Structure 1
């Protein structure tokens, strides 16, 4: 019984959830968001020489971390949070779209710094909320969207230019509009329309939902392996960005397709996407991690031992390895959010974006410090590369081994040898079926849609219409329609009767009733 339930859940997890429009909107919108971020890192004015990329990144890290902190204090009150976040995010993005082009036209360093600060803050929020769209779907959705978005980012970067100021206007606004459209399709109601200081109808109602063990939690926390992932993405980002300011020898062989950076995004995204679709349920996501570290190390060793300088091929190797890990990180962020709970996405992606941006900013700052030392001959690129190799090895083997990556994923397949003993043990112990598993079985039996199954789980926990609408970020009329359809399909007309039905439901009883019919 347990084995069949796991197989059914696994099949459902790896099936394509949602239609093609959802895929396209998330892929294009998130890809445009990442392309805008990369473009802003290169923004400059003629009269201002110092690097400004770290300013943009630190502002983004600050906004993402504040989002994560707010999530730990307002668990469950996502409509109110989204009302604040979206208003602030929209204002920041529009402000950046004005300030950065104006800085270039007026040759103003003050406007440039202002545009980068508010743009970085807006970019941090935009990535977090796009992350929610990853976590709202299943693992296969993330496996398809994350690499495909990398391809879109590479293509947009290849086609655009930071010399064209429309890049800083059109790209972020298009990403924002696609986010709005996608959320409207998902019936997310961000504007609560309530007076200040109030949440949904009943202020006295708890906004904290129990976890799968029935334990009420007033704060969200990352698990040990998830925390290791966050630390590792920061270290990887830091090590890769150290080399960005060092000169590259030779002509870029990928100049015709937008340069090495854009080419690495496209090629890695295409490979990751192809593997995901070809293997599907046999996909071992940690395989990407197994590839990324050796490829990055190979590129760094090429700098250190073969050329003592940065060549485009060594840069490409480092970029390919890093992009593999970056795509994998976004897949894992979504999986962590789904594991913690339905409202955890802003918290998880907020922390993920924070650590990534801090690592990148620190790498750019150290790069600016090391560049004059390298030019003076006091430090060699080879020395920096070898130290980076050592750091990568420490992270890969001591901080985030492959077993830690695999543990984050919810799909764990037992070996053929261990299947029979497990089934026997399950028959002996007869573990209790979780509420979620019962609702999943009832949904399959009665033909409920995925959204109706989510509503059913809330009703089975005794939640009211207001709480269902609030926690699923949908309008009350939409929630009421879902509830009516659930009652129609199950033949039940009262919530208490529905709760009793879910509590008493057993797979064997359902099969017997079906056979009798």
Structure 2
């Protein structure tokens, strides 16, 4: 537990948690009475302007996913400031003034577009930061939403309106500070993540390629280096068809899951029976806390941090929540609200991490990966809210509706689960580990080969690779011999020796845990024991052992 706390303290920077303020805005604006004191329902049922906002955010994600699919979003920073102004101003005017319907619709559209832009920019910056740091920052960011769940349900009037309107501004401040980190080269993925033993070779080749020298012609015209010369907007060697199929399948699953969550949200009121009786929203609070804890547990102890793996745990909760919807009373309402809160919170975190990893792999640009995935999530919420609203009205008028809707949504979700991609679908599209290609077979002929310690094609390519007259590149068997000797001297176990081999090749912990199918916590424990037994205190000190 102390190791976990120390890792969180070392990894988390408050400025990297700004995405949480966008999530908090969604919760406060759509699920509390902070903006509309007379709220009679939730989400788009509360006010007609929020239907416009829900439609606008869906359109924003899909439009910018296509428009910015080949754009470096760091060059588009003014759009983030525009989005913040739209989001904050639209929220304030909606809550503070009694506006005509058409003006309220425009404010809803503005807030929807603004929230979509901020989410896209946060996805972009997370794809640039260190993987280990992002895997802590994203679930920690949900702490902002948790804090708001304890505060905003009980704030109404102008203080509530001002509080909700300030959330996008706080997110923009954090985004600006994170941009400064990226510009200064702090907390970003380093080129040496691939293999520092050959870092000097790579730097020389990158410089030669930029100048168009003989080295560039020798090793391939127009070659791209994975994480070496510059950040890739896309990876032309990766099979785009497989990658697109993976994105479509995962988006369909997210759509179905959030349609179920949207139905549950729309069929419930702003205040459930438990909250009316005891004065606080216990279901949402407990569900959100448990969801964050489950996300942290999944990240640290699961070998696969992706949506398909997570759904094996979350799918039963969604089914239970849907089954509880048709029943009335305190217990069924509490079960439906709590289970959906758990599913919403943990899916929100893991889905965003999965989309960021897809962007980090270089298969798609961040705008495209995040835009398509988040667009399908918001479309699912919109469709679910409409279906829930219709079923609630049908129940009132004819006595039917909730049962039928619940059954249909369960069937749709079950079919979507059958279409969910498996781990086998992730190989060969840049998702075998966060931040690179999966093996040498995925590289172009002109790329610098990088050994994974297990791919025959990679091994052959490494032995065939030569750099004239510099003596920097050692033979793979020499490195293996050094690993075996150092491991024996330090008394490492067989698994620790295996991990040491990856570390000696400059592999990151996310790479190692994917290659060996181990959890984040298990790999971290092995690395800690290796450092202790070899009496080193940093990655550089460990690499120095192999430079002697």
TM-score bracket for the superposition, by shorter chain length: 0.5 to 0.7
Q: What is the CA RMSD across the aligned residues, in angstroms?
A: 4.4
State the partner residue of 2:84: 90
Deviation at 1:94, TM superposition (A): 4.1
Cα pair 2:51 2:108 within 8 Å, conserved:
no
State the partner residue of 2:294: 271
Deviation at 1:125, TM superposition (A): 0.3
CA distance in 2, matches of 1:37, 1:100: 14
Alignment CA distance shift 1:513-1:352 (3 Å): closer
Deviation at 1:256, TM superposition (A): 5.9
3-state SS of 2:266 partner: coil
Q: In the TM superposition, what whole-angstrom CA distance separates every residue of 1:334-380 from its partner, at most 9, and x where no partner exists?
A: 11001125x82122112222111121112222222222101123424
State the partner residue of 1:312: 334
State the partner residue of 1:293: 315
Candidates 35, 53, 58, aligned match of 1:56: 53
State the partner residue of 1:374: 395
3-state SS of 2:264 partner: coil
- Larger mean Cα displacement after TM superposition, 259-268 or 166-175: 259-268
Matched, 1:125 2:141: no
State the partner residue of 1:26: 16
3-state SS of 1:137 partner: coil
In the alignment, structure 1 segments of 5+ residues that lack a partner are: 1-15, 190-204, 415-421, 436-440, 446-452, 454-509
Deviation at 1:322, TM superposition (A): 3.5
Deviation at 1:170, TM superposition (A): 1.7
Alignment CA distance shift 1:254-1:173 (3 Å): farther
Matched, 1:112 2:134: no
Q: How many residues align?
A: 395
CA distance in 2, matches of 1:371, 1:167: 31
CA distance in 2, matches of 1:434, 1:230: 41
CA distance in 1, matches of 2:7, 2:170: 25
State the partner residue of 2:267: 246
Alignment CA distance shift 1:18-1:37 (3 Å): same
3-state SS of 1:379 partner: coil
State the partner residue of 2:169: 173
CA distance in 1, matches of 2:137, 2:83: 23
3-state SS of 1:347 partner: helix
Q: In the TM superposition, what whole-angstrom CA distance separates every residue of 1:258-295 from its partner, at most 9, and x where no partner exists?
A: 44234322221023224534x38x56655422101111
Compute the TM-score of the two structures, normalised by the length of structure 2.
Answer: 0.61
State the partner residue of 1:234: 255
State the partner residue of 1:144: 136
Deviation at 1:403, TM superposition (A): 3.6
State the partner residue of 1:339: 361
State the partner residue of 2:349: 327
Q: In the TM superposition, what whole-angstrom CA distance separates every residue of 1:114-169 from its partner, at most 9, and x where no partner exists?
A: 22210110000001111122212344334322322223212213212462211232
In the alignment, structure 2 segments of 5+ residues that lack a partner are: 1-5, 40-44, 186-211, 213-221, 227-233, 439-451, 466-471, 474-478, 480-505, 507-542
State the partner residue of 1:100: 94
Cα pair 1:158 1:259 within 8 Å, conserved:
no
CA distance in 2, matches of 1:138, 1:36: 26
Cα pair 2:264 2:336 within 8 Å, conserved:
no
Cα pair 1:239 1:388 within 8 Å, conserved:
yes
Cα pair 2:391 2:402 within 8 Å, conserved:
no
Matched, 1:40 2:40: no
Compute the TM-score of the two structures, normalised by the length of structure 1.
Answer: 0.64
CA distance in 1, matches of 2:454, 2:353: 34
Cα pair 2:127 2:359 within 8 Å, conserved:
yes
Matched, 1:260 2:257: no
Q: Residues 118-517 of structure 1 correspond to what in structure 2 (within 5 A)?
A: 118-161=110-153, 163=156, 164-187=160-183, 210=224, 215=236, 222-247=243-268, 250-252=273-275, 258-277=281-300, 279=301, 282=303, 285=306, 287-303=309-325, 310-340=332-362, 344-397=365-418, 399-403=419-423, 409-411=431-433, 426=456, 430-432=460-462, 514=547
Cα pair 1:308 1:380 within 8 Å, conserved:
no
